[in-house]
Each structure stands twice: as C-alpha cells, then as structure tokens.
Amino acid sequence: MKKYKKISRWLLAFISSLLLFSLLALTCVKITLFNQEFMVDQIHQADYVTRVQKDVTQAIQDYGRGSNIPPDELSNVVPRELVEENVDNYIRGIYTGVPFKIVGKEELAENIQKTVERYASEKGIEIDEGTQSSITQLNEAAAGAFETYVAIPYLLEYGQKVMAYNQTLTLLMSIVGVAFLLVFIGLMITVRWLHQRLRFAGAVIGGAGLMMAVLPVYIYLSGIIDRLGITSEGLYHFVTSYLKAFDLNFVKVGIICLVVATILVLVSEVLRRKNVSRIKGD
C-alpha cells in the first residue's frame, strides 16, 4: 500500500510538473510573441531605427545621384525621430489591426527641397521648371523608399498570423492552469507532513524549471539563431535580437523556478530534521 501511494504521488508530481511547464511556456509566448511592446523594445535594443535611417538615406542618395546631387548633400535629410515614430506606429499597427500610414512625408520633402535649394544656391544653379520637376521626382522616390524600408510586408503577415491565435492561446492557458491546480492540489492532499509537501512542490517547480531552461540554453549556445539567412543588415540584427530575447525569456523563468525549488527543498529539509529531533526527544 505504501509503495502504491509513493508511486501515485510521484506520478502526480510528474504530471503537475509537465502542466506547470506548459503553463509557463504558454505564458512566456503570451508576453513576448503576442506582445507589441516586446517587439518595440527589441527594435530599440537592436538599434533598428538607426539602421532603417541609414538605409533610407542611402536610397535617397542613390536617387539624388541621378539628378547630379552629391550624396553628402543628402546625408541629413531623414530625421531619426521621424523614422522612430513611423517604425513604432507600424509595429503597433501590426498588433492592433490599425492600417499603417506613413507620417512626415511633408517634412521629408521639405528637407530635401531646402537641401537642394541650398546646394543650387552655393553652385550658382538656377532652379527652373525642369529642375523643380526633378526635385519633385526625388521627393516621390524618397517617400517611396521611406515606406518600403519601414513597412516590411512579412512583419505585417507575421503579426496578423500571431494575433489570429491570441484568443486560442488565452483559452489554452486557462485550461492548462486549471488542470495544473487540480492535479497539484490533489498531490498536496495525498501528503501529510508539511516538509513533504514542500519537497514535492520543489520537485514540481524544479522539474518545470529544468524543462524551461535546458532546450533554450542549447539553442542560444549553439548559434542557430545567428545563422539565419537574412540579407538586410538592419532586419538581421532585429530578428536575431528578437529571437534571442524570446529564447532567453524561457531561460530566465527556468532559472527562477530552479531557485524557488532549491529554497523549498532546503526549507523542507530543515523542517524534516526538526520533526525527527522532536520525535526522538519525545
């Protein structure tokens, strides 16, 4: 009978650990992949805005060469603040479903207009109708390049697919959470002593922590994420930073679980020794 109880307790502990791992993993996915602020934070940490600003500026300089405007003259026409505002709006629009619209086209066109006029004045070039037409074409090309580098189509597609499962994920988290509580409470009921309950709780949490940490640590150290074949430098840094942060989030939760489990086991051992001493004293 005792052997049966022991086996049933460890079976319940194993199931509880699996359910807790599932709940923690789903929670990590919820607060990362399904969270627009997480993506925005990773964009800023990867310095994606600066890289987009650089790419847009280079594209405008290339268009400027066609109008005989030196690249250095157009090096400061794209304000970082404008790029940052549009990138943030685009990411938030992905998660909220709000159609994205580039803001600041007028400011960009005005910067280009003033830059070209200043350059023409310095070189003694008269801005006639043909020259103004070239400037207008440059403004249109610059606006198109700006939108192309900011509004990346497959990021929008990714966000739409993710958010389509948002309600399903929330429901699944609720089901797994209730199942975990029922099994864990059932495990605690089968245990009499407090120190045994703490020990089993430590085993459940520690097992979940190990499952949370081991595979993500392997993925991080193996360099799989760094080997992604993305040609755009800015997008590469953003995606790898995004995936590494997602991966390390599991590791952090796993480490916290292991620390909590260790504390519970240590406290359990202290209580067990006190109980043994008290029994011997009696």
Give residues with Cβ within 8 angstroms of 114, minimum separation 6. none
How do residues 17-50 score in pLDDT, each as one tens digit?
Answer: 999 999 999 999 999 988 888 988 888 888 888 8
Give residues with Cβ within 8 angstroms of 147, minimum separation 6. 102
Helical (H) or strand (E) element with 101: none
* Per-residue confidence (pLDDT) for residue 129, from 0 to 100: 76
d(CA 195, CA 209): 21
The two structure tokens encoding residue 253: 């939760």
- The candidate with the shortest Cα–Cα distance to 42, out of 215, 227, 255, 247, is 247
When pLDDT is cut at 50, 70 and 90, the band that residue 282 belongs to is: low
Within its chain, how far is the Cα of 43 from the centroid?
Answer: 9
The one-letter amino acid code at 114 reads: K
Are residues 170 and 30 in contact, defined by beta-carbon separation less than 8 angstroms? yes
d(CA 276, CA 266): 15
Angle CA 82–88–243, to nearest 5:
130
Helices 48-65/80-96 angle, 10° precision: 120
Phi, psi (5° rounding) for residue 79? -70, 135
When pLDDT is cut at 50, 70 and 90, the band that residue 1 belongs to is: low
How do residues 106-154 score in pLDDT, each as one tens digit?
Answer: 888 888 888 888 888 887 777 777 777 878 888 888 888 888 888 877 7
Q: Please count the other Cβ atoms lying within 10 Å of the Cβ belonging to residue 75.
A: 14
Q: Percent of the chain beyond pLDDT 70? A: 96
Q: Please count the other Cβ atoms lying within 10 Å of the Cβ belonging to residue 122.
A: 9
